[in-house]
A and B are shown apart, each in its own frame.
Chain A
Amino acid sequence: MTVAKETVRDEREQYAFHDDITYLRETKAGLTEATVREISATKDEPAWMLEYRLRAFKHFESRAMPMWGGDLTKLDFSKIVYYRKPSEREEKSWDDVPDQIKKTFERLGIPEAERKFLSGVGAQYDSEVVYHSVREDLQKLGVVFMGTDQGMKEYPEIFKKYFGTVVPAEDNKFAALNSAVWSGGSFVYVPKGVEVPLPLQAYFRINGQNTGQFERTLIVVDEGASLHYIEGCTAPNWATDSLHVAVVEVIALPGAKVRYTTIQNWSNDVYNLVTKRAHAHAGATVEWIDANTGAQLTMKYPGIYLLGEKAHAEIVSVAVASKGQHQDTGAKAVHLAPNTTSRIVGKSVCKDGGVATYRGTVRVAPGATGVTTSVRCDALILDEGSRSETYPYIDIQEDDTSMSHEATVGRVSDDQIFYLMSRGMTENEATNLIVQGFLEVFTKELPMEYALEFNRLIRLEMEGALG
């Protein structure tokens, strides 16, 4: 066990490095209309996108900061660099990626993972996607997996039809910010009836100090098709604030099946303020599997709007809040059609003064008859000084809804620790094991390689939890 822990410690350091890179282009710190225009011009975008960005920018400026959630008072928009371009273009071959960046992702294990078990992989370094590839056989079937900027240019019809329809620019202050300055992200299209057999993966890396990463992901899964998309995020610790404001839009057309898995492990100086939402059409299934272990403040509530009859939503959200961290996470299920179902499971662990918040909404709109929905959220508090908050909103407007909600907050029981210690474990190992068991609802949903990595992350977070 001790040896394993040492290995984990090494890995943490492996994520914490940063590269001294000369950016090909970067905007000045701070955000003005000129910045927005500059980003759009750099990307040589169609006029409609510039208009969209400017409209979003106006809304961002006029919209007040949210009064709820985490502490955003120290977030200084004027210090952030909104666009940094590390590479000339998005490469399809790993060999063509600039050496410095290639080294970064090699250290993070990206090309290795691709060879092993992925259908495709994308890597974003600061503002731009530097590498994307998708297996040839899938390409032949019409599966598209590329940077969002490239997607806008190569697939304008699909792009324009769906972009901004799930998360409008005016949705919230941060969605407006993303809509104004977005860059990079993944564009995925899976044609009718195509089942993507292995996950597509995207990897997001913030390297530069005070950098804002504003990736925009658009995933369209056509009728009867299926997809598993995985994203991972890291950043070096700069001790000055970086900002990650992503928007993810997922459209699951009738009968489609989409699973979106996130393992968020930003460094502890990142503000992670993300809007993730999916539309599930008739008979479609959307699953968000979402884990948050990094960032200083995360505000993220993956949402699924059930638009068509018999659509199904599944959200598993886990969070680990350690020293100096606030994980304000949760889930939303909005039932807008008859006979739709949803299940939300939230699990959080807080320790060393961390704050873990579950904030969730279940809404059943008039007309959505025959809905079944269940919510379960549990929290573990490992020590005094840490805090757990639970805010579930349940709004039911149909008389034949079946809704159940349960929540518990507790600590690791002495009996469990005692039992495991009597079997030869140290107190720390016993706690690790119990916490891993508590979060198993998440890990069991992951491909095995990811489950192992996630367990290592948890062990890392848990190190010294009991002093």
Chain B
Amino acid sequence: MTRRALADLPLEWATTDAITKLSQGGAGLPERTVALAAFHALPTESNLLFTGYVDLRAAEVEQAAPATLSQEIRSLPASMLPEGAAAIIEISSAGIGAFLGAEATAAGLGVTPLSLSAPLAGASEDRTAALIAALWNTGFAITLNSGRLSAPIIIRVVAPEAGSSLLARIAVQLGEGAHASIVEEISGSAAAAGVATSLLATSSEVTLGARATLSLSSIQDLPEDRAYVSVRRHTFGEKAQLQLAVAQVGARLVRGRIDHLLEGDGSGVRQVEVVFGAGDQIHDLTTYSLHSGQKTVGDLLAKGVFAGNARGYIKGVTTIPRSGRGTNSYLGEFGMLLSKTARSVAIPSLWIDQPDCERAAHGSSVGPIDPAQIFYLRSRGLTDAEARRTIVMGFLEPVVAALPLEAEAERLREVLAIKLDGALAKQPAALAS
């Protein structure tokens, strides 16, 4: 059988009929129609720099049509609210459920269904965004007009079962001076690893008002029979700040795009990304930063560990147009390969029109586990396996430590440790050298 995938879409369910059903009485149909046309017209990878590296063979999702879901937000029981959290929102094939704690209510946090005609910016340029804009079947908006919400908002995204798709949109709007933190947990019920037959597509659309600050963390630990595509687009007002931490651990195929539109003067983003691929996993991740405001800051760090037959493509484009005076931008992509059959590709590109930059730099490295470090740790009484585990976890720790909630960081450490143990156990021979 010839394996068809996102790479040679059209998906059989990306049709006019499907978008008519999803627009439930016609609301948003014009927007979906435009997006569907863009989806069919756009190449899977629109950036010529990266065209040779797109690899989506691991997904076979053309039968996985999205169901029409209720747009209403149902109440979740208070017992589901994790300790220390301000609110919990769950989004799944059952629709959206939410519970807002007292602090969230007092701060004026709003969680509402996303308007069916809400436009999705970027849908005319990016194929994944176009797919979601045309066929999204669930979505909500979080708004915080002002004030500070110190406890995090937990968003649980539950992937659909095999043979179906969930295309979810999450819009976040913070008003002037508002502060919030969000933790996304992206998971699904356990299933055997294999070719992905279920698609999870998410769009995170964040708009930050002047001086707003947002801490956004995402831990993706999907079963390895899922395909996960995501687009994130962050628009910054003056002096707005975003701290973004993304961990990609699960799924058979992950394709992600992040856009930082640093339009507001003095705005900044600090992004840390950890990627752990094992087995036959493929990660294809791109970050675009546009420093169009003055004195904006971009500090982007990605760390990838690849074992088994995993392939990782970590790409970045930092653009500093003429308007971006005083930009301070750094892009770092660092990889560690744990097996002879793993592959790491890094393409950190810079595109600079403004000489008056404070910093415009990138760095990347790929290396094995340093034998001197293993030797040292063994001399301190660790076994070989313990030493390797310690070194890999240490490599990833700067990213893990950036998660705002200690409980989340601890959970990620556990997820990574389990995965690492699995990867190391499978390859004793390769690592014995």
- B79 close to chain A: CB less than 8 A: no
Question: If the complex has contacts A390-B350, A400-B368, A401-B366, are A384 and B322 also in contact, measured as CB distance less than 8 A?
Answer: yes
| CB-CB nearest in chain B for A388 | B352
State how many angstroms separate the Cβ of B50 from the closest Cβ of chain A.
Answer: 9
Q: 1/0 per position for A244-265, CB-CB distance to B under 8 A?
A: 0000000000000000000000
- A391 close to chain B: CB less than 8 A: yes
Q: Which of B341, B346, B355, B360 contacts A383 (CB 8 A)?
A: B355
Instruction: Kindly state the separation between the CA atoms of A402 and B341 in the bound complex, as whole angstroms.
Output: 16
B348: chain A residues at CB < 8 Å are: 390, 392, 405, 407
Cβ contact within 8 Å between B350 and A388: yes
State how many angstroms separate the Cβ of A408 from the closest Cβ of chain B.
Answer: 4
State how many angstroms separate the Cβ of B304 from the closest Cβ of chain A.
Answer: 11
- A394 close to chain B: CB less than 8 A: yes
Cβ contact within 8 Å between B337 and A384: no
Q: Which of B342, B345, B357 contacts A394 (CB 8 A)?
A: B345
Which residues of A380-422 are within 8 A (CB) of B? 381-411
Question: If the complex has contacts A405-B363, A407-B361, A408-B361, are A396 and B351 also in contact, measured as CB distance less than 8 A?
Answer: no
Cβ contact within 8 Å between B360 and A409: yes
Cβ contact within 8 Å between A390 and B340: no
Cβ contact within 8 Å between A398 and B357: no
- A48 close to chain B: CB less than 8 A: no
| CB-CB nearest in chain A for B364 | A405
Cβ contact within 8 Å between B343 and A387: no
Instruction: Kindly state the separation between the CA atoms of A393 and B349 in the bound complex, as whole angstroms.
Output: 9
Q: Which of B339, B345, B362, B365 contacts A399 (CB 8 A)?
A: B339
B349: chain A residues at CB < 8 Å are: 389-392
B322: chain A residues at CB < 8 Å are: 384-385
Instruction: Kindly state the separation between the CA atoms of A398 and B365 in the bound complex, as whole angstroms.
Output: 13
- A1 close to chain B: CB less than 8 A: no
- B372 close to chain A: CB less than 8 A: no
State how many angstroms separate the Cβ of B24 from the closest Cβ of chain A.
Answer: 41
B interface, by DSSP: helix, strand, loop or mixed? Answer: strand
Cβ contact within 8 Å between A399 and B347: no
Q: Which of B343, B430, B433 contacts A396 (CB 8 A)?
A: B343
Instruction: Kindly state the separation between the CA atoms of A399 and B341 in the bound complex, as whole angstroms.
Output: 8
Q: How large is the interface on B (under 10, 10 to 19, 20 to 34, 35 or more residues)?
A: 35 or more
Cβ contact within 8 Å between B352 and A393: no
Cβ contact within 8 Å between A395 and B345: yes
Cβ contact within 8 Å between A403 and B366: yes
State how many angstroms separate the Cβ of A331 from the closest Cβ of chain B.
Answer: 15
Which residues of B323-359 are within 8 A (CB) of A? 335, 337-357, 359
- A193 close to chain B: CB less than 8 A: no
Instruction: Kindly state the separation between the CA atoms of A257 and B364 in the bound complex, as whole angstroms.
Output: 30
Cβ contact within 8 Å between B356 and A411: yes
A407: chain B residues at CB < 8 Å are: 348, 350, 361-363
Instruction: Kindly state the separation between the CA atoms of A379 and B360 in the bound complex, as whole angstroms.
Output: 10
- B1 close to chain A: CB less than 8 A: no
Cβ contact within 8 Å between B350 and A402: no
A interface, by DSSP: helix, strand, loop or mixed? Answer: strand
Residue with the greatest number of chain B CB neighbours at <10 A, chosen from A389, A394, A401: A394
Question: If the complex has contacts A387-B353, A394-B364, A394-B366, are A366 and B341 also in contact, measured as CB distance less than 8 A?
Answer: yes
Q: 1/0 per position for A29-49, CB-CB distance to B under 8 A?
A: 000000000000000000000
Instruction: Kindly state the separation between the CA atoms of A379 and B361 in the bound complex, as whole angstroms.
Output: 10
Instruction: Kindly state the separation between the CA atoms of A221 and B94 in the bound complex, as whole angstroms.
Output: 70
Instruction: Kindly state the separation between the CA atoms of A405 and B332 in the bound complex, as whole angstroms.
Output: 10
State how many angstroms separate the Cβ of A388 from the closest Cβ of chain B.
Answer: 5
Question: If the complex has contacts A388-B352, A411-B357, are A398 and B363 also in contact, measured as CB distance less than 8 A?
Answer: no
Q: Which of A390, A396, A411 contacts B344 (CB 8 A)?
A: A396
Cβ contact within 8 Å between A410 and B368: no
Cβ contact within 8 Å between B361 and A404: no
A385: chain B residues at CB < 8 Å are: 322, 353
Cβ contact within 8 Å between B343 and A409: no
| CB-CB nearest in chain B for A380 | B355
B359: chain A residues at CB < 8 Å are: 408, 410
- A24 close to chain B: CB less than 8 A: no
State how many angstroms separate the Cβ of A354 from the closest Cβ of chain B.
Answer: 12
Instruction: Kindly state the separation between the CA atoms of A381 and B327 in the bound complex, as whole angstroms.
Output: 14
B433: chain A residues at CB < 8 Å are: 400
| CB-CB nearest in chain A for B320 | A409
Q: Which of A67, A389, A396 contacts B335 (CB 8 A)?
A: A396
Cβ contact within 8 Å between B363 and A386: no
B48: chain A residues at CB < 8 Å are: 67-68
State how many angstroms separate the Cβ of B359 from the closest Cβ of chain A.
Answer: 8
| CB-CB nearest in chain B for A403 | B366
Instruction: Kindly state the separation between the CA atoms of A395 and B335 in the bound complex, as whole angstroms.
Output: 11
Cβ contact within 8 Å between A393 and B363: no
| CB-CB nearest in chain A for B322 | A384
- B49 close to chain A: CB less than 8 A: yes
Cβ contact within 8 Å between B340 and A366: yes
- B25 close to chain A: CB less than 8 A: no
Q: Which of B49, B340, B346, B350 contacts A398 (CB 8 A)?
A: B340
Instruction: Kindly state the separation between the CA atoms of A76 and B360 in the bound complex, as whole angstroms.
Output: 37
Instruction: Kindly state the separation between the CA atoms of A407 and B330 in the bound complex, as whole angstroms.
Output: 10
- B367 close to chain A: CB less than 8 A: yes
Cβ contact within 8 Å between A394 and B350: no
Which residues of B341-400 are within 8 A (CB) of A? 341-357, 359-368
Cβ contact within 8 Å between A392 and B337: no
Cβ contact within 8 Å between B347 and A394: yes
Cβ contact within 8 Å between B361 and A389: no
A68: chain B residues at CB < 8 Å are: 48-49
Cβ contact within 8 Å between B361 and A403: no
A383: chain B residues at CB < 8 Å are: 355
Cβ contact within 8 Å between B345 and A409: no
| CB-CB nearest in chain A for B358 | A410
A395: chain B residues at CB < 8 Å are: 343-345
State how many angstroms separate the Cβ of A452 from the closest Cβ of chain B.
Answer: 29
Instruction: Kindly state the separation between the CA atoms of A180 and B341 in the bound complex, as whole angstroms.
Output: 40
Cβ contact within 8 Å between B367 and A384: no
A392: chain B residues at CB < 8 Å are: 346-349, 364
Cβ contact within 8 Å between A393 and B364: no
Q: Which of B339, B351, B360, B365 contacts A404 (CB 8 A)?
A: B365
Q: Which of B355, B364, B367 contacts A411 (CB 8 A)?
A: B355
| CB-CB nearest in chain A for B314 | A394
State how many angstroms separate the Cβ of A150 from the closest Cβ of chain B.
Answer: 40
Cβ contact within 8 Å between B352 and A409: yes
Instruction: Kindly state the separation between the CA atoms of A391 and B331 in the bound complex, as whole angstroms.
Output: 13
State how many angstroms separate the Cβ of B37 from the closest Cβ of chain A.
Answer: 23
Cβ contact within 8 Å between A398 and B337: yes
| CB-CB nearest in chain A for B343 | A397
| CB-CB nearest in chain A for B331 | A407
A408: chain B residues at CB < 8 Å are: 359-361
Q: Closest 9 CB pairs between A and B? A: A381-B355, A411-B355, A399-B337, A390-B350, A409-B360, A408-B361, A400-B368, A403-B366, A404-B365
24 contacts between A and B (CB under 8 A): A379-B352, A381-B352, A385-B322, A390-B350, A391-B349, A392-B348, A392-B349, A394-B344, A394-B364, A396-B366, A398-B337, A399-B368, A399-B430, A402-B365, A402-B366, A403-B366, A404-B367, A405-B348, A407-B363, A408-B360, A409-B350, A410-B357, A410-B360, A411-B357
* Additional pairs, 20, CB under 8 Å, beyond known A386-B353, A389-B351, A399-B337: A68-B49, A366-B341, A381-B352, A381-B354, A384-B356, A385-B353, A388-B352, A390-B348, A391-B347, A392-B346, A392-B347, A392-B364, A394-B344, A394-B366, A397-B342, A398-B340, A402-B366, A403-B367, A407-B348, A408-B360
